[in-house]
Amino acid sequence: MTAGEPIDYIVVNGVIYTSDPQQEWAEAFAVSAGKIAAVGTEDAVRRLATDETPTIDLAGRFAMPGLVDVHAHLGLGGRQQAFELPILPTDSVPEILAKVRAWTERLQPGKWVVGGIVGSTVIDDLTTDDLEALDDAAQGHPVMLRDDSMHNRWVNSRALDIMGVTADSPDPDGGSYVRNADGELTGVLYELAGNLAESAVAEAVEDPAAHNATAIKTAVHTLNSFGITAVQEAATMDYALETLHRLDEQRQLTAHVVASMPSRTFIEPGITGAELYDVGARHRSAHVRPDFSKYVLDGVPMTRTSAMLHPYICSHHSHDRDFTGEPLWGLDELVESLEDLVDRGLHAKLHATGDAAVRRVLDAVERVRASRGEGPIFQIAHVEYIDEADLQRFAELGVVPDASPYLWFPSVIQESIAKQIPAETFDKSWPLRDLFESGALVSGGSDWPCAAPTPDPWTGLATMVTRRNPDSTVQGELNAGQSIGIQQAVAAFTRNPAAAMGLGEVTGTLRPGLSADFIVLDRNVLTENPAAIHQTTVLQTYFEGRLVYEAAGEDAAGVAAGLAGSAR
């Protein structure tokens, strides 16, 4: 702590957790020019202030660093909240159809019905009869509904017509049009088969720039409302880069955003690879860092598109009882691509849900480390299934486990997965304790809007500790031996993902020199009963020292007169 720096305000009289292993707790801190200027005892911090220095009196409340989400989809999540039909993953087909029919009443003729989330247990059993029912509910409108993985879609016949897809259409690379035994389309689109639907929806938007701006602003505001002040956008298309850059220039971006640009054709339409990397470079700004590329090694286990080491048990979907799925990248081509990426100065986030896909990434990184050194950051999303032989390799190779989405507890999605994955693999899912104990930099992410309607980090944090569904009516635990302690869970949503995103010297802890990103909560999550942490309410969120979110009815938590306005 040094004296003589101009102090904008001080924060005192609270319980302050810094997430800094060198000084985990403090009584007060000072903010100057958007950064933490000092952290320590209240007496020491007050000595840096003058009689005129504004003071935030926490009145005994708990404060901590702003949270960091290592994996979220801002465009998808923002559009879902701002524009689209909300569907719960627990909704039955009749409930979905009723919501679609009601939604059409607000639309002009011919406009798309776009929505989600359709549960995995629903999407897997849809038939041509369900397609006919969807056509009837849609009343002439094209429909596209996303599932809880965001990898698959359900569309109606009108949408298929617009896409130009018929029963005779060949499956696209990396995807499939689901058909019944007679070869008739069911309207279900797996993986990259959804690209045409997403393209048609995007082309129908009348004012894309305004549409995208509303979506991204909605997404960032939602993140702030949950206490999130830094995020890694997990599949950043050109429209998102342009929108984020524009919002940042207008001082409307209230989070640090690290972009992950798809290396190949993605479900969302747009350019990818080197062409997109060039767009990213042009849109770098103070809070937008296009530093990562996104690679997709496989799909999702619910629809048997993950690459597994052991055969799926749901054999009625395949004539091959030894079917395991295959990674979408060969080892040599992945190594070559990653080496080229590193030579461009970029890092990589690699989607790998199956244990075979995880091994493919680790094998590739091992070779890239040998040729390109220790500098590049490699993240594997989503680390649900890891063979025991590969657990230690994360720490040994410096690979970040991107733990997302929040599926480490019993749920509808896990119910669906358990029908596909053999028990000996399923029962070892989400080995978070083993990864922590190995020294790997476990980092939490929501994968919003996949699997959940909000990016609520408190549910993710709490269930890392309990491994139980926060809904007490859902019984049981998921691989309870892999639960972790609350301080580890907090690290997974603060300093760990900040470091994993290349922001370790920017945010993630409350220490001098870092961005003044902090939140005020209604409880001390370090001492709260873990089973109640999911009920945490964020009272205030500060980004670079500015108040960017305040809970309704919250009277600035004792902020001195005039400070709230100046801090905004």
Residue at token pair 């680390």:
383
CA 562, CA 390: separation in Å to the nearest integer? 55
What pLDDT score was predicted for residue 561?
Answer: 35
CA 206, CA 195: separation in Å to the nearest integer? 19
CATH code matching the domain that covers 9-65+513-567, chosen among 3.40.190.10, 1.20.910.10, 2.30.40.10, 1.10.1740.10:
2.30.40.10
b/e string for 406-423 if b means 16 or more Cβ within 10 A?
bbbbbbbbbebbbebbee
Torsions phi, psi of 67, nearest 5? -80, 160
CA 402, CA 499: separation in Å to the nearest integer? 12
**Do 428 and 479 touch, CB atoms closer than 8 A?**
yes
CA 543, CA 6: separation in Å to the nearest integer? 19
**Do 446 and 430 touch, CB atoms closer than 8 A?**
no
Which ranges of 50-194 does DSSP label H, i.e. alpha helix? 74-83, 93-104, 120-123, 128-138, 157-163
CA 248, CA 246: separation in Å to the nearest integer? 5
What pLDDT score was predicted for residue 453?
Answer: 84
What pLDDT score was predicted for residue 555?
Answer: 53
Other Cβ atoms within 10 Å of 234 Cβ, number: 29
> What fold, for 74-203?
Diaminopimelate Epimerase; Chain A, domain 1 (3.10.310)
pLDDT averages per 10-residue partition of the chain, 568 residues: 74 98 98 98 96 97 99 96 92 97 95 91 91 96 92 94 95 91 94 91 93 97 99 97 98 98 88 98 98 97 93 71 94 99 99 98 99 97 98 99 97 91 96 99 96 92 97 95 98 99 99 99 98 98 99 60 36
Residue at token pair 């971006």:
253
What pLDDT score was predicted for residue 191?
Answer: 87
| CA dihedral (464, 469, 472, 475) positive or negative | negative
Beta bridge partners of 36: 31
| CA dihedral (328, 333, 334, 338) positive or negative | negative
What pLDDT score was predicted for residue 83?
Answer: 95
Q: For residue 409, give every residue at least 6 positions away whose Cβ sits within 8 Å of its Cβ, in sequence order, or none.
A: 463, 466, 467, 468, 469, 470, 474, 477, 478
DSSP label at 515? B
CA 459, CA 532: separation in Å to the nearest integer? 9
Residue-wise DSSP of 223-290: HHHTTEEEEEESS--HHHHHHHHHHHHTT---SEEEEEEESS--SS-S--HHHHHHHHHHT-BTTEEE
What pLDDT score was predicted for residue 567?
Answer: 38
Q: Smallest Cα–Cα separation from 443: which of 516, 508, 391?
A: 508
**Do 230 and 507 touch, CB atoms closer than 8 A?**
yes
**Do 301 and 378 touch, CB atoms closer than 8 A?**
no
DSSP label at 44? H
| CA dihedral (117, 123, 126, 128) positive or negative | positive
For residue 512, give the 3-state DSSP assignment: coil
CA 440, CA 367: separation in Å to the nearest integer? 19
Would you call the peptide bond into 405 cis, given omega within 30 degrees of 0 as the criterion? Answer: yes
Q: Angle between the 74-83 and 238-249 helix axes, to the nearest 10 degrees?
A: 80
CA 463, CA 534: separation in Å to the nearest integer? 8
CA 314, CA 304: separation in Å to the nearest integer? 8
CA 470, CA 562: separation in Å to the nearest integer? 39
CA 256, CA 248: separation in Å to the nearest integer? 10
CA 409, CA 143: separation in Å to the nearest integer? 32
What pLDDT score was predicted for residue 9?
Answer: 98
Would you call the peptide bond into 142 cis, given omega within 30 degrees of 0 as the criterion? Answer: no
Q: Give residue limits of the domains in the chain.
A: 9-65+513-567, 74-203
What pLDDT score was predicted for residue 61?
Answer: 98
Q: Smallest Cα–Cα separation from 172: which of 150, 194, 187, 157?
A: 194
CA 135, CA 316: separation in Å to the nearest integer? 28
Residue 457 Cα distances to 24, 80, 233, 517, 523, angstroms:
21, 18, 15, 16, 15
CA 418, CA 153: separation in Å to the nearest integer? 21
Residue at token pair 């470091």:
499
What pLDDT score was predicted for residue 566?
Answer: 35
Can you give the pTM of this predicted structure?
Answer: 0.92
Q: Angle between the 273-282 and 238-249 helix axes, to the nearest 10 degrees?
A: 0
Residue at token pair 């998808």:
76
